[in-house]
Amino acid sequence: MRITKITTLVVNAKMRNWVVVQVFTDVPGLIGIGEATVEYQARAVVGAVGDLAVTLVGRDPRDIERNWQIMYRHPFFKGGVTMMSALSGIDQALWDISAKDLNVPLWRLLGGLARDRIRMYDHLGGGSSDSVYNSDTVSSFSEKMKQSIKEGFTAVKILAVPQSTALGDESKLKHAHDLMASARMAAGPDVDIMIDFHGRTTAAMAIKYAQVLEPFKPLFLEEVVPPDQIESLKVARAGINVPIAAGERWLHRTEFLPYLQAGLIDVAQPDVCHAGGVTEIRRISALCESYGVSMAPHNPLGP
């Protein structure tokens, strides 16, 4: 079996364009599909997929590890979100080909079942960008939380921390408190609530926000400081008494390692569309297990 061509399909979607990767083989009808979406970088990712494609055409798609190493090691300048997302999309498609070739689900190739069920969480607003980003009133949080619960979710992630808040004031802290209070009141005590900071705050402000949010027992706080500021996370970690999640913008196991070694996170969130695809996610998973850190694979992108 050989790879004959690799193409991309860009789907216009609100806030972002989905970048779908297709890997074609010389077996009629056997096509692998992956996703390489990066917000606001669709054209760059499409170009990166094309650059990587020339290194793989003619190779066996089932040699997934070899193909991953070729894609990762071939460029002189490695990494970066554009190239790693392109690599991730192709890697997903290669796994898809192997699973289809053997007529088995992908999880079978990953070692079979570890559990019979996987718990899912909803993002408040159910994936609607308007509901997620443009609804920040107490009433809207309450209504959307009730909708998530009605749909059967037992965990919901919310954006209770104001956007672009590096230095906040008491009114913003109170607003975050009120949003979380409304969400908790609507959810009741048995639904887990996670709060995504989106890396918007300084360590000092992250601690202040955590202090007003902690009484409502969030499951974890996500990206409480910018993802490239390990020293800031050390400060935040020392002052926050809630589990911390991070990792959606880390692209390789070597980026996770120092945070794991320093004991700075409780939940790792590698994104299969950015962090090297299925192949690298497996390595990150093993690394997290070595440090006793849970993993919640991340992906808010395509369908």
The closest alpha carbon to 31, from 56, 67, 70, 61, belongs to 61
Rg of the Cα atoms in the chain: 20
Distances (CA, A) of 197 to 78, 176, 202, 226, 250: 29, 11, 11, 9, 16
Distance between CA atoms of residues 40 and 295, nearest Å: 27
State the angle between helix axes of 203-213 and 170-187 in degrees (0 to 180), rounded to the nearest 10.
40
Q: How far is CA 266 from the centre of its chain?
A: 15
DSSP strand pairing (192-196 vs 155-158): parallel
Catalytic residues, which ones? 198, 298
| The two three-digit tokens of residue 208, written as one number | 């202040």
Distance between CA atoms of residues 118 and 55, nearest Å: 36
